[in-house]
Amino acid sequence: MEQTTALRKIAALKKKIRGVQGGQGAGKTFAIMMLIINHLSGTPNKQCYVVSAELSKMRDTVLKDTITILQSFGLNCTVLGKDSGQAKVLFPNGSFIRFLGMDKDDIGKGLRSDIIFVNEANKINFEAYREVTSRAKAVFIDFNPNAKFWFHDEIETRQDCQYLKLTFIDNEYLSQEERDEILLYHFKGYGVAFAPDDPTVEHEEINKYWANKWRVYGKGEIGILDGAVYENWEIIDELPKEAKLLGLGIDFGWEHPQACIAVYEWNKRRIYDEVSYGSHKGTVVMARHIVEQGLQNAIAYCDNSAPQLINELQTNGVNATACYGKTGLINYAVEKMNKDLFYITKRSVNIIQENRGYVWGKDSKGNPTGKPIDINDDAMNAIQYFEGSEGKYSGSYR
């Protein structure tokens, strides 16, 4: 199998964490798997986990690429779970690759491994990343840069991280059909063909959507979010001592993360601070986080669809109650929050990530629905349950 420029660039990364930001057709995932397979086939008893948001999708992408690479290398490996069940590749020398989806209950927490590869990292939250990589000896990360996310804030600047950007130009073996499709983004966005001899030439934008498509998938650069729900917000380094606690917002979840967000007032503006966030945690864990931070007496407005979970929080010492209905609550809270600048604490990486990708929804014809998208919005919902219910309840269920 021939080497690409992408493969050579990734192979040159030597630090513990190796981040690869790339556009469409850059061949980043394929190249990373080639390097991993080459290492495991020549080194006995090594463990590698490949983690992504959805196991079912990974079977059609990363696992399929893995099988192609194994065949091209002529390796006699056992491949399990190609269609269902646990997806795993067993090497004759005792090494293995296991594929884990964040949408499955068997996702590992604090895995002891030689290599972790986080595929499409921008589709998972920072807490999930931290949990699966905390004990790994080497970490690969790849993603399309649709928007800035936790990698750029928390990982890229670490001393043990190397980072590079790839584009379709780094993949000499990309099919002409896909190459033409990527180049079409440039033509639709700028009205002229891309000049490969001088890629630095800038043209006047004629279509914002396609120009942004080219920016992300053609140039491999961070995209500009279109239709953001919240545009008037800033990150604040830390929670000011004089900030006044107003209460908590809580969104329940299991496969999807559960989120508890503290709401403060400071200089007549709101500050949102992450208290608890993550999948497969349960109300006992959330309650412990709340109590440990001394927030248990603050009113906590919760998702009203799970009264049994609200009761569990109350039993564990949290002043929890249901949010004030749901009909119109989200849009009411959004309108309220958009009236003024608000802040998010720097440590609240999951609120920041969700907020950066939180946009107004569109129907199948591209028409606005008037509602925010209902994807990766757990922290957003938690905040909205508080903002939409504030002042409508006082007292204690404890």
> What does the H/E/C string look like for 28-39?
HHHHHHHHHHHH
**pLDDT reported for residue 1:** 61
Which domains does the chain show, CATH number per domain? 5-170 (3.40.50.300), 176-218 (no CATH), 233-387 (3.30.420.280)
pLDDT interval class at 127 (50, 70, 90): confident
Q: Is the distance from CB of 373 to CB of 361 less than 8 angstroms? A: yes
Stated length of the chain: 398
User: 367 pLDDT band (50/70/90 cuts)?
Assistant: confident
Q: Residue 287 — pLDDT band, cuts 50, 70, 90? A: very high
369, 362 Cβ separation under 8 angstroms: yes
Are 24 and 167 spatial neighbours (Cβ–Cβ below 8 Å)? no
- Condensed to tens digits (0 to 9), the pLDDT of residues 196-244 reads 776 666 788 999 889 999 999 999 999 877 788 998 999 999 999 999 9
Is 350 in contact with 382 (CB distance < 8 Å)? no
The dihedral through the CA atoms of 310, 313, 317, 322 has a sign that is negative
The mean pLDDT value for 164-172 works out to 96
Q: What is the arithmetic mean of pLDDT over 334-338?
A: 92
Q: What is the arithmetic mean of pLDDT over 31-40?
A: 97
pLDDT surpasses 90 at 368 = no
d(CA 369, CA 365): 10
pLDDT at 109: 61
* Mean pLDDT on 379-398: 77
Say how far apart CA 188 and CA 191 lie, in whole Å. Answer: 6
| Angstrom distance (rounded) from CA 26 to CA 106 | 31
Q: Is 70 exceeded by the pLDDT of residue 393? A: no
How open is the CA angle 149-229-122, to the nearest 5 degrees?
Answer: 20
How many Cα atoms are found within 13 Å in the side-chain-facing hemisphere of 375? 10
Residue 98, Ramachandran bin (φ over 0: left; ψ between -120 and 50: alpha; else beta)? beta
Does 107 have pLDDT greater than 70?
no
* Closest listed residue to residue 171, CA positions, set 13, 58, 22, 11: 22
Instruction: Count Cα atoms within 13 angstroms, Cβ side, for 96.
Output: 13
* Alpha-carbon 369 to chain mean position: 24
The predicted pLDDT at position 395 comes to 47
CB 370 within 8 A of CB 331: yes
Say if residues 324 and 392 touch (Cβ distance below 8 Å).
yes
Write out the DSSP string of 290-334.
HHHTT-TTS-EEE-TT-HHHHHHHHHTT--EEE-S-STTHHHHHH
How many of the other CB atoms lie within 10 Å of CB of 394?
7
What pLDDT is recorded for position 328?
Answer: 82
Query: What mean pLDDT is predicted for residues 180-195?
Result: 93
| Strand order from edge to edge, sheet including 113-118 | 78-80, 87-90, 96-101, 47-52, 113-118, 136-143, 17-22, 161-166
Provide DSSP, 111-149. --EEEEEETTGGGS-HHHHHHHHTTEEEEEEEE--SS--
pLDDT for position 398: 36
The average confidence (pLDDT) of the chain is 91
Residues 137, 143, 145, 146, Cα dihedral to 10°: -130
Gap between the terminal Cα atoms of the chain: 66
Helix (H, G, I), strand (E, B), or coil: what is residue 273?
Answer: strand
CA distances, 160 to each of 15, 227, 257 (Å):
6, 35, 28
Contact 220, 21 (CB under 8 A): yes
